[in-house]
Structure 1
Amino acid sequence: MPEEEPRQKPMEEEEDDEELQPLPQQEQPPLLPKQDHHPEDQPPEEQAQTPPIPITLTAEEMRERRLRTLAARSIIQTPLAAATTAPSPEKASRKQTNVSGESRLVREATHSDSESSTWPDLSSKNDMDVEMKTVVPIQDVEMAPAALSLPSEAATKRTVRPAIETTKASTVSPERELANKKLTASADGGGSSPKSVDEQNEQLLSRLLNCTWNEFGSGSIICAQTASFLEQHPSKRFDFDFIVSNVLMETALKIYNDELGESSACLVDDMEFSTPKKIKSDDTEVQEIMANAMASTSTVEEATTSSQSEATASSDASSCLAPSVLNIVTTTKHSVILYLMKCYENYQTECATKTSASQPALHLAFENIMRMTVLVLTDRIHQNLNWQLDQSALLELMYMEKVSESFLVDIVAHTHEDLDAFDTIFGQVLRGLFTGMQRNICTAKINLLQIEWLAKLVVIRVGAVRPLADLVARQPNFIPPICTKISGREIVKCSFLGPFLSVSLFAEENVKFAETTKNKVEDAVASRLRWGLHEMRTHLHGIFHSLCVNASSRPKTLEYIGNILRRNDRRVQFASDEKLLARDGFVINLMSVLQHLSVKIKLDRIEPNYHYMKNCHVSIEQDTKIRYNEEEYKSFQGREFSESDKEVNFQTQCWFLTLQAHHLGYMPAIQRYRQKMRAIKELQKLIDELDRTKQHWVNSRYATRNNQFKERWEKQLRKLNRSKNCSEITLLDPALLQRCTEFYSTVCEFMLYQFEGRAIVGPFISKLPVQTLKATDAFSALPEWYIDDIAEFILFTMQHANVDIRQSIDHSIITWLLTCVCASHLIKNPYVTAKLVEVMFVFSLKPANSVNTAMWNHELAQNALVSALMRFYVDVETTGQSTEFYDKFTIRYHISHLFKSMWENPIHRQAVICESRVGNQFVKFVNMLMNDTTFLLDECLENLKRIHQTQQMLSDKQSLSKMTTDQQQSRLTQLATDERQCRSYLTLARETVDLFHYLTSDIKEPFMRAELVDRLSSMLNFNLKQLAGPKCNDLKVKNPAKYGWEPRSLLAQIFDIYLHLDCDRFAEALAADERSFDVHICNEAASRIKRLALRSAVEVERFKALTQRAHEIYVTNQQTEDECADAPDEFKDPLMDTLMSDPVLLPSGTVMDRAIITRHLLNSCTDPFNRQPLTEDMLVTNLELKHRIEAWRKEQRGKRNNR
């Protein structure tokens, strides 16, 4: 057994001995390492062999011993002792999060202890044995940033006094008893006497910093070196600037060197209580104090420990976070920052209840906390050996939600003028956000962590400046240099804001999300995902808003947006490669940001000619213009906008960038969505075709091949359906559609002013008749897609969106739509006008709604729409495209439906009737209507005949068995083609016949014109013969409703047209049709009408009377025609070889009958002999020839009467 160590001197004796020591020659700062020697650190063998010697303590150790004893006694006696023994219920969860929160930064392997720090050990780990925390409620207090002051104090080495060996004494001198009484009086009775302001501030700072440097402190961390220096220099007791600076430095170094041991985490995490460290065996007084306190609370502590362990276990079970891979330096740096933030929270709490006397001390503490935070974050205290990781400890704590926004605001305010420190701290944070966002683009769920923090950072404002917005714009990769040929994709991938804008739910961009998406997305799931997109785009808007509202970062931000749009202008091309350009999700996110930025922009603040300027951020040079070709546009731009130094405001730039973003973002996405829909439709058609014909190939040699095709097509179909569902989540988002509609409303206002060629002043009010509008240079140079995109957007939303977008269609859009249609002569491309007509067609569909009513009640619709639609109906006969012949039927179908809707309105019906009486436009319109009806009915009837034949063949099993498999497959393919064409042609034909039906009900005279009536009667006679003639049974097909084939309805409508036009002139025209008119077929048709009760008996009798008159005229015409066969050639029309009644002279010198050449001009305004331009007003009546023809006819009639 080793001998018992001699008893140490009481602390009072040690203090007296210290007073006898001579003072050092110079003042020494406390922040230097101590050389401690502890016998207990020697091996047991050496201790046994070494004879016992008295233990000697240095003055600093004795001073620290006394501070620990007083702190322990103070804590035990305080009323808050109960709180210190009861841990917070949230303690376990917070500690768990702090320790095991997964790092979002790139980590490397933990370095060894020798590599983690190169700083000298400033104090022994045995400096502090008892640590107690003060329970201070923390509140978030908004505070104004204060200026940063850096106290500079020279550090010199402290001289350590030699240790004084003491022996065990049995008696105490009277002087020592007096010293003990004084010390007891000062320790126990100090609270009863009034404290000075400095003493109060001293205790306030001790609570705020949670540090103790003398016997009056209440902090948990013992700052022994600071206390040593202050005891040697009592005059500096209230030099708080010096004390706070040194206390923070000493505490930071203790945490860096892990001198606080296991309780360091408690000191920086919530700081509500701490567990005492292991007490030295020779510190008997402290042991007795703490033993008594612990004994009295053992029962409570056991219960608390049990509940805490249960809470920790449940927290561990529910946590999904992996342990953070943090190296030693990063972990200790976190602890230092957490300690400083805790001091900052204590500062905010004290500020809430501060007095005028404590305000300077609080301000001083704040200044030093900010200073120390900057030193820690810039690695000026402790060397960072892992600098190559570019790892931000502040960002890691931000991810853990340990950093308050007010703390960030004050750090920014105190560092933004020191660019080196500011860039070091927050440049690392921004790079960490960029790296983290790159990894969070493709995730199953929308991750907003990096976007939220970036939005919080850039919004921080110091005066009129946003320092972090400036720092973002100063990043080297904010507008990265282009190094490859795929600049559109490169700027997305390499730019700083690229990853933040790339969050998307499109299947092609986010494979992980697409893999979790079902073939059908429920409405609730879609709404939740759209809300996530909305939240993400709201944060993105906050980022860009901060960058744009900050004057110094605004130009570069607009330049960045302009670069993105210019380098991705090929997105709208038909065959563009998506892999070389920005994806849909990226550009749509940018579009949404710009929508928010431009929502409050007034049109009268916009420079309308900005897109023509050389310094414009958007480029329209390669775009097709409304009227100008490329050369005309360059000439106009060089003439009017040769100077490029004109400055424009932010509103102008933002509005035109938003318009360009819609063109490059939403429009290509719509086209790709439609391509997916067509591909899905085609694949489904192929699969259905295989299933329908399975009985014909299941036992053939094609069975294996067809099964493989079907399996592959079904796999492609599932993939396309999943991609379609992902696209619908974004494209059909009601909030996004609403914003697009609101912005396009402003574009319509802009276009209306361009139509009239005047400056933008408030809401648009038309001042010129639409028929008199003339294209100005500025209007002619506008891109064609300014009009086309709006029409495309409305058509898409009306067709696919689940929400009714009609509620967002305002007066500006309706006025713009009607103006474009009524002034179609200003638009060079007929397909643009055709798309606008299609928009009107969609608006006019029933049931009636607010848009429908507003459109038909508009002044332009009542005064100019009828004439414009008739003119356009004629103009689309030639569009300049190779598909013009088939395109015109779809366009005219929409116009026919519009006329049908207008006919139901008395005002518009009267407008149609008036138009039929006043101008030549109606005659051309009716001529084209007859042409279409003739062609469409012919095609329908031919297709029906082929369908009838194929169905008869397939129903005959004997004839079917004689055909080979290939022949059967060919006939089935032809049948499918005929059925598809028949449905299409019947739809168009039914609309044109309807138009004829209601037009002839109230309008008769224009149809009786010489150039129309003969062709009209021929068309009616031919179709009546097809429906009621001897071969009408060839039109019978199985399931006629499948094709929309209603022969009875068509027969009744043709029957009505006969009755509507009943007159002598019409009877003559019927009789003149020698090819199709047959009184017997007419009687058969009347009988069927009567038998089927399609019309009344009175109407049937009227029809019979008309056809009988026509038959009598037909007989008379046969005799006259025989007599005119010998007419001279000069009296006959050169085209039709018929006797002329009104000869006219053409510019080419040819003489033709007026009715024949007029009929030709209705279809083509050219001379039929030399194809030169020809109009009706160029025809000259040949009166001399007309008189000779009339004289010859009289002569022939006289000869016939004399016989």
Structure 2
Amino acid sequence: MSVLEEVLRVSKDPARSKGFHVLPEEFEPPLDVDQVDSILLYQLTENLELAPQPFAYLKECFERAQQQKRIARKSQQQDFGLLQEIDRLVIGYGLVLFQVEEFCQGEDNFLRYMSQIIAKTDDYTAFLSQLIQRAIQEDTLLELTENFLVTLKKYIDSLTLFNLNDSQVVSSVLTLFELFVSFKPVAALITKVSGFLAGYDVKPNQFEKVTLLGPILTLSPLNASVALQNYGDNLERTQQQTNMIHESLQTEHKMILDRLFFIMDKIIRGSNESRTDLLIYFAQIINKNHLRRGDHANANKLATNAFVTNIALLLIRFSQPFLDVSYKKIDKIDVNYFNNLNLFLDLSSETRMNSDFKEADEFYDKNKKNEDNKPNFISDCFFLAMAYLHYGIGGAILYEEKVTPQVKRMREEVGRIKRAAQSQDMFARFAAMQLPALEKSLQTMQSIKQALQGFFSHKTLQLEAFDFISGASTFLVRVIDPNHEFPFKQIHLPLIPDQVGVENVDNADFLRENAPVPFKYFPEFVIEGIINYTQHISKFVMSPMFGNPRLHSFIELATVILRCPELVSNPHLKGSLVQVLSVGAMPMRENTPGFMMDVFENNELVSGNLLYALLDFYVIVEKTGSSSQFYDKFNTRYSISILLEELYKIPDYRQKIIWQSRNNADFFVRFVARMLNDLTFLLDEGLSSLTEVHNIQREIESRVRGVAPTREETDKELQTKLASSERQAKSSCGLAEKSITLFNIFSKDIPAAFSTPEIVDRLAGMLDYNLASLVGPKCRELKVKDPRKYSFDAKSLLKSLCTVYINLSDQPEFISAVAKDGRSFSRELFDRSVHILGTKTGLASDEFCVKLQQFARDAQDQKIAEEEEDLEMVEAPDEFLDPLMFTIMKDPVILPTSKVTIDRSTIKAHLLSDSTDPFNRMPLKLEDVVPNDDLRHQIEMFKNKKRMDRG
């Protein structure tokens, strides 16, 4: 048998037909090199036995030719030449088969070839490599690449499912992409293949379906069908079982991402044009998916989490080389990037850091770079990655936040229907018919939720993401730095001098005017993406923030933003930032400091600026600009309180707080006033809600016993009201607990700050009122079932309140203020408190009880003395009385616009929470009031005369 017959599997001898194709009569023996072309043409176009798999036949001929080449000796030059010719023709015809679909018999030939290739991809790689090389030589590479990859896309589309669950097909598809882009000429032109870029009218949710790379970029555990298949079989599995599924999918996802990165990297390196096209493709997707961070987004109309998070992780990986810890290439990221013409990113609807759209547009129009000065790849890649961090990964975070309560509600509904189905009620039986569909929905939602948890607990991937965030944080501080020299030279804060005596909450125009350029015009998402990610990832046991040597970079950015109120105008972003820092401050275990505490203490930039930033923001967050601003501030201040409590344990921070209270009194008093306002409201709200819980619980118990109702509400309405009051009680009591802790801490070391004229009366009134609520005649109304459920511990709260009394017991102004409180002060309340804390519970030491009793005696004595003096002052003329407090003024001042005379301490107290004239609501600053010296002299003369008369 000749080499030709062996390689082409043909023969003229019918006896040798097994495994061979018998040639017709026109092929005369002996078969030689001159007949190879004719034989192959016959085989491919006329041999019906070969019709189903001509491409496979050529591949096998190619393999046999290679094998024969290895066997052939150099002496067998004739055979070697024959094999070379067979090689040339087989590869040539292989190329023709993927260029002319009708060349062979049958329809959909390309698709048939592809299914054979996918089934045994490893067997085809050598042959396909030769086809690509021949196409390069013949200048038909685009035609081959177009036909092959478009057919591959059609094949994927023809599958019922294409995801991680079909590992063999997925691996084959990725292998083929890898093979093609491994040839640089292919990588250079792959973006010209039909369907690589999407048309302008492609919907946000269609990119992953209609574009060439879409299907492979959705290969992720976050794919809904993958999640359902892996997590949906058992909704009651243990956490350990769930973790095993997480680990398996994480390993597979990591391998997929490595392969996807290889493919994208080859395209990036293919040519300038392919690099640009790939970035345009990524930008097209994210520009149309901004609603992924919208509150009312319809997930079905947007790109999937699987698709955009994969792209985000790939862009993050591309960014690693210029954001490494050496920062040698950080200067390659353009701080004026958004001044470039023809940006990939669409910023038309993006909120800016601290400017409006008009200002930003005017700035960019005025400072546009010329057409020749195009951004480099590093800058494009970085800012695309920032957009994907916010809208891609950030959208997945928002999705998880929404799906969690949905799963809870579905579980409750399924349980309710199952219980109701046991009854004979017709409506219950009808509802039970809906149960299978509802359980299926629950199974899907629960699976997606667990897949998201698996994604965010994938430490390797999240470490890469946080590494990017660390580098991005350093870059953003570099942008903020007026000289753009950070981190090689330290940034000096504040950037603009603090406005002494002016609250930044009412200083928005000044701050916007003085915000640094170009940072003030940056899109808000470059900060928001970082904040949303860190806020979410800090909740995970495997959080990449724990023990991370680059954590300081993020904390430095947070400190700069909080310290300089002109940088970011959105208080909600700063509120979320504070929340992240508070998580890092909280002790991880007993006697184990929070994971950020080391940076708080030892990083120079942070330790020098964080405290002032927190105190200032505590005041600023009074007004958030939203309809819910009154309630928004409490959660933010709760986070700040956690931070201040933990920072106070560090000696350097403790000294800084004491220094501020003594040397920046106006600033610190505003902070104390806000604490007092909040604590007053929260305790009132919390205790009132507990009283309502107590009353409703008693009513429900009475009705169960058959007692006639004493309230108008139905049983169902009562349950609804109870749930509402319970939520309010838990929220308010929990927030109040943290506020009273701060009062305990600060009033001990800096009591003078709590005894200033503008604060002390309100503080005394608040303490007295709540003391009466806890131990007075109505204290029984606070008795509820399981008080811990509401973060309420009456005895602990009582001790905290009494601790403040003791801490301030050496302040005459405070003793006087308590004594003057005619509404709630009573010495008997202190006696009752001592009995509860000392005798009854043992919560307080003898020394504590003695001090509290002594304070009560001092306040009682002061009360008697002041009552006698007040009787003598009854005859004071009306013009001597403060128009708000109705007490004799000590330091009367005239308000500039309303011309009303009021005591200086009264208007100072008012201005701590409202920067307007209380009589006409016009803007007012304390420095604008005019002393009424004539009236002050008259009042002093009146008092002196009364004292002389008394003497």
Residue type of the alignment partner of 2:274: S
Counterpart secondary structure, 1:600: helix
Question: What is the aligned partner in structure 2 of residue 340 from structure 1?
Answer: 62
Counterpart secondary structure, 1:1144: strand
Question: What is the aligned partner in structure 2 of residue 744 from structure 1?
Answer: 469
Residue type of the alignment partner of 1:580: K
The superposition leaves residues 481-512 of structure 1 with CA deviations (integer Å, 9 ceiling, x where unpaired) of 34x4x532344332222222233444646687
1:456 counterpart = 2:178: yes
1:836 counterpart = 2:577: yes
Instruction: Report how far residue 1033 of structure 1 moved.
Output: 1.8
Question: What is the aligned partner in structure 1 of residue 251 from structure 2?
Answer: 531
Separation of aligned partners in 2, 1:365 and 1:223: 23
Structure 1, 1067-1076 or 564-573: larger mean CA deviation: 564-573
The superposition leaves residues 1042-1078 of structure 1 with CA deviations (integer Å, 9 ceiling, x where unpaired) of 2222111111122221111112332211111111111
Question: What is the aligned partner in structure 1 of residue 838 from structure 2?
Answer: 1090
Based on CA coordinates, which of the two structures has the bigger radius of gyration? 1
Instruction: Report how far residue 1184 of structure 1 moved.
Output: 2.2
Question: What is the aligned partner in structure 2 of residue 795 from structure 1?
Answer: 535
Instruction: Report how far residue 718 of structure 1 moved.
Output: 4.0
Residue type of the alignment partner of 1:997: N
8 Å Cα contact 2:740/2:800 also seen in 1: yes
Q: CA separation of 1:560/1:704 partners in 2, compared to 1, >3 Å: closer, same or farther? A: closer
Separation of aligned partners in 1, 2:426 and 2:853: 61
Where does 1:735-814 land on structure 2 (aligned, <5 Å)? 735-759=460-484, 763-770=487-494, 772=496, 775-800=515-540, 802-803=542-543, 805-808=545-548, 809-814=550-555
Separation of aligned partners in 1, 2:777 and 2:4: 120
RMSD: 3.7
Separation of aligned partners in 1, 2:4 and 2:893: 125
The superposition leaves residues 870-905 of structure 1 with CA deviations (integer Å, 9 ceiling, x where unpaired) of 111111111111101111111111111111101222
Question: What is the aligned partner in structure 2 of residue 1182 from structure 1?
Answer: 932
1:412 counterpart = 2:132: yes
Separation of aligned partners in 2, 1:71 and 1:755: 74
Separation of aligned partners in 2, 1:460 and 1:125: 39
Question: What is the aligned partner in structure 1 of residue 506 from structure 2?
Answer: none
Separation of aligned partners in 2, 1:1161 and 1:737: 47
Of 713, 724, 735, which residue of structure 1 is paired with 2:449? 724
Of 592, 595, 602, which residue of structure 1 is paired with 2:316? 595
Counterpart secondary structure, 1:547: helix
Instruction: Report how far residue 990 of structure 1 moved.
Output: 0.7
8 Å Cα contact 1:753/1:759 also seen in 2: yes
8 Å Cα contact 1:370/1:411 also seen in 2: no
Structure 1, 520-529 or 400-409: larger mean CA deviation: 400-409
Separation of aligned partners in 1, 2:301 and 2:798: 58
Separation of aligned partners in 1, 2:63 and 2:408: 61
Q: CA separation of 1:1193/1:699 partners in 2, compared to 1, >3 Å: closer, same or farther? A: farther
1:427 counterpart = 2:139: no
Residue type of the alignment partner of 2:861: E
Structure 1, 673-682 or 622-631: larger mean CA deviation: 673-682
Instruction: Report how far residue 1183 of structure 1 moved.
Output: 2.1
The superposition leaves residues 641-674 of structure 1 with CA deviations (integer Å, 9 ceiling, x where unpaired) of 1644422222222222222222221111110111
Where does 1:11-26 land on structure 2 (aligned, <5 Å)? none
Separation of aligned partners in 1, 2:694 and 2:564: 46
Counterpart secondary structure, 1:1152: strand
Question: What is the aligned partner in structure 1 of residue 203 from structure 2?
Answer: 487
Q: CA separation of 1:331/1:1088 partners in 2, compared to 1, >3 Å: closer, same or farther? A: closer
Residue type of the alignment partner of 1:1134: P
1:579 counterpart = 2:320: no
Separation of aligned partners in 2, 1:764 and 1:71: 71
Separation of aligned partners in 1, 2:40 and 2:166: 42
Question: What is the aligned partner in structure 2 of residue 1109 from structure 1?
Answer: 858
Question: What is the aligned partner in structure 2 of residue 852 from structure 1?
Answer: 597
Of 818, 821, 825, which residue of structure 1 is paired with 2:559? 818
1:502 counterpart = 2:218: yes
Of 332, 344, 362, which residue of structure 2 is paired with 1:605? 332
Instruction: Report how far residue 850 of structure 1 moved.
Output: 4.6
Question: What is the aligned partner in structure 2 of residue 637 from structure 1?
Answer: 364
8 Å Cα contact 2:162/2:170 also seen in 1: no
1:1166 counterpart = 2:916: yes
Residue type of the alignment partner of 1:1128: P
Q: CA separation of 1:127/1:907 partners in 2, compared to 1, >3 Å: closer, same or farther? A: same
1:985 counterpart = 2:704: no
Instruction: Report how far residue 258 of structure 1 moved.
Output: 5.5
Separation of aligned partners in 1, 2:356 and 2:102: 68
Separation of aligned partners in 2, 1:1142 and 1:968: 57
Q: CA separation of 1:576/1:1162 partners in 2, compared to 1, >3 Å: closer, same or farther? A: same
Counterpart secondary structure, 2:469: helix
Instruction: Report how far residue 374 of structure 1 moved.
Output: 0.9
Instruction: Report how far residue 382 of structure 1 moved.
Output: 10
Residue type of the alignment partner of 2:876: A
The superposition leaves residues 608-662 of structure 1 with CA deviations (integer Å, 9 ceiling, x where unpaired) of 2223323111122211111010111111111111644422222222222222222
Counterpart secondary structure, 2:893: strand
Structure 1: gaps (5+ residues)? 1-66, 76-121, 134-209, 211-219, 231-242, 260-326
Q: CA separation of 1:383/1:932 partners in 2, compared to 1, >3 Å: closer, same or farther? A: closer
Residue type of the alignment partner of 1:1145: I
Instruction: Report how far residue 1167 of structure 1 moved.
Output: 1.2
Instruction: Report how far residue 714 of structure 1 moved.
Output: 6.1
Q: CA separation of 1:480/1:957 partners in 2, compared to 1, >3 Å: closer, same or farther? A: closer
The superposition leaves residues 496-541 of structure 1 with CA deviations (integer Å, 9 ceiling, x where unpaired) of 2222223344464668737854324622222222222222222222
Separation of aligned partners in 1, 2:11 and 2:221: 55
Structure 1, 915-924 or 582-591: larger mean CA deviation: 582-591
1:938 counterpart = 2:684: yes
8 Å Cα contact 2:65/2:86 also seen in 1: no
Instruction: Report how far residue 831 of structure 1 moved.
Output: 1.1
Q: CA separation of 1:528/1:690 partners in 2, compared to 1, >3 Å: closer, same or farther? A: closer
Residue type of the alignment partner of 1:1101: V
8 Å Cα contact 1:509/1:583 also seen in 2: no
Counterpart secondary structure, 2:946: helix
Question: What is the aligned partner in structure 1 of residue 266 from structure 2?
Answer: 546
Where does 1:84-103 land on structure 2 (aligned, <5 Å)? none
Q: CA separation of 1:1101/1:491 partners in 2, compared to 1, >3 Å: closer, same or farther? A: closer
8 Å Cα contact 1:684/1:717 also seen in 2: yes
Instruction: Report how far residue 383 of structure 1 moved.
Output: 4.2
8 Å Cα contact 1:587/1:661 also seen in 2: yes
Structure 2: gaps (5+ residues)? 323-328, 498-513
Counterpart secondary structure, 1:926: helix
Separation of aligned partners in 1, 2:375 and 2:796: 64
The superposition leaves residues 282-304 of structure 1 with CA deviations (integer Å, 9 ceiling, x where unpaired) of xxxxxxxxxxxxxxxxxxxxxxx
The number of aligned residues is 908
Residue type of the alignment partner of 2:527: I
TM-score (norm 2): 0.87
Separation of aligned partners in 2, 1:1117 and 1:394: 99
Separation of aligned partners in 2, 1:470 and 1:1109: 88
8 Å Cα contact 2:340/2:374 also seen in 1: no
1:1069 counterpart = 2:793: no
Where does 1:611-760 land on structure 2 (aligned, <5 Å)? 611-641=338-368, 643-684=370-411, 716-759=441-484
Percent sequence identity over aligned pairs: 25
1:956 counterpart = 2:674: no
8 Å Cα contact 1:954/1:960 also seen in 2: no
8 Å Cα contact 1:530/1:733 also seen in 2: yes
8 Å Cα contact 1:378/1:424 also seen in 2: no
Structure 1, 1065-1074 or 718-727: larger mean CA deviation: 718-727
Counterpart secondary structure, 1:417: helix
Q: CA separation of 1:252/1:546 partners in 2, compared to 1, >3 Å: closer, same or farther? A: same
The superposition leaves residues 410-461 of structure 1 with CA deviations (integer Å, 9 ceiling, x where unpaired) of 33222213234x4554433212211122245545444414432333323333
